[in-house]
Amino acid sequence: MSDPYARNMFGTFNPYYAKQPIVGRLVVVLDGVYENHGLELIKPPSRALRQTEIHELIVTDEGAQPGSKVNNIAYVGFFEVMQGGVIVVGNEVTIG
């Protein structure tokens, strides 16, 4: 079975009709800014996050896209997923 995104099965159609928000809590706050990191992003534009998983939050000021490489990054922190769901490129992330 091949990747539906790589095969462009969706074209410009957004298959994510409705989804619940992911809720989490920060468990670590990080303070690090790096240039020339060469971070390679995953190709799929979506990712399922399960309850109790811990994920890292990293931001960039570059035009990041799935499958691209970014150099300028800042580490924000790690968060624990309290309510799981699916994240998609372009979703808003709020911390507060």
CA angle 30, 73, 46 (to 5 degrees): 95
pTM of the model: 0.80
CA dist., res. 8 & res. 16, Å (int): 15
pLDDT score recorded for residue 72: 96
- Written as one letter, the residue type at 67 is G
Q: Average per-residue pLDDT in the chain?
A: 89
pLDDT digits (tens, 9 = 90+) for 13-59: 777 788 999 999 999 999 999 999 999 999 888 999 999 999 999 99
Q: Where are the domains of the chain?
A: 23-88
Query: CA 3, 84, 71, 14: dihedral to nearest 10 degrees?
Result: 50
pLDDT score recorded for residue 17: 81
Residue 3 above 90 pLDDT?
no
- Written as one letter, the residue type at 84 is G
DSSP 55-78: EEEEEESS---TT-EE--EEEEEE
Band of pLDDT at residue 90, cut at 50, 70 and 90:
confident
The answer to whether 42 touches 66, Cβ cutoff 8 Å, is yes
Q: What is the average pLDDT across 58-64?
A: 93
